[in-house]
């Protein structure tokens, strides 16, 4: 299904779930969505850990609704253009990392790797948990895996 600008702006949930339009990229919408989430991370990284944690919890919970509503309206539960889950997953990855360009680049690469590869249990959640929660959970778990690996790397290598 080709998503039109009218669909993008038809409901605020669509605009957010489609990553402000970044999910409409004809090639690699998940990667485009992750790239679009970086400026928000650069702002978020300057906030306290408590603020980051509350923000991530809120965006995860809101994301369940956004992804469910947009998926239902598209008629495809986890349409490739839905990238809010990539936003939240990447932000979660970066919570584990020191700030800086190398950390952002490595966090981006690791998150995309885990999001695309979907090792167990990510692939299990992707196949067995449905609706907005399912859309969000596999990327959150990919973010946790990527973040833990990024944290371990940062311990042994100055990032």
pLDDT at residue 96, rounded to an integer: 85
pLDDT at residue 73, rounded to an integer: 96
**Listed residue (145, 91, 155) closest to 122, CA to CA:** 145
pTM above 0.85, yes or no: yes
pLDDT at residue 45, rounded to an integer: 96
Q: Are the CB atoms for 136 and 60 separated by under 8 Å?
A: yes
pLDDT < 70 positions in the chain:
1
pLDDT at residue 4, rounded to an integer: 87
Tell me the residue range of the domain where 83 lies: 5-156
pLDDT at residue 12, rounded to an integer: 97
**Listed residue (136, 51, 147, 42) closest to 90, CA to CA:** 147
pLDDT at residue 157, rounded to an integer: 87
Mean pLDDT (the chain, rounded): 95
Number of domains in the chain: 1
> Which tens digits make up the pLDDT trace of 35-75?
999 999 999 999 999 999 999 999 999 999 999 999 999 99
- Provide the strand spans (E) within 85-133: none
Residue 55 neighbours by CB distance under 10 Å: 16
């Amino acid at each position: 299904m080709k998503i039109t600008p009218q669909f993008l702006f038809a409901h605020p949930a669509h605009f957010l779930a489609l990553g402000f339009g970044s999910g409409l990229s004809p090639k690699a919408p998940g990667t485009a969505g992750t790239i679009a989430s970086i400026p928000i991370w650069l702002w978020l990284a300057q906030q306290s850990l408590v603020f980051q944690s509350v923000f991530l919890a809120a965006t995860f919970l809101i994301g369940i609704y956004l992804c469910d509503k947009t998926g239902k309206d598209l008629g495809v539960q986890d349409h490739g253009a839905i990238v809010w889950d990539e936003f939240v997953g990447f932000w979660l990855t970066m919570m584990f990392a020191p700030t800086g360009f190398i950390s952002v680049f490595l966090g981006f690469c690791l998150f995309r790797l885990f999001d695309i590869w979907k090792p167990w249990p990510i692939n299990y959640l992707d196949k067995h948990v449905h609706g907005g929660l399912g859309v969000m959970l596999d990327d959150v778990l990919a973010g946790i895996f990527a973040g833990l690996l990024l944290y371990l790397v940062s311990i042994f290598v100055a990032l």
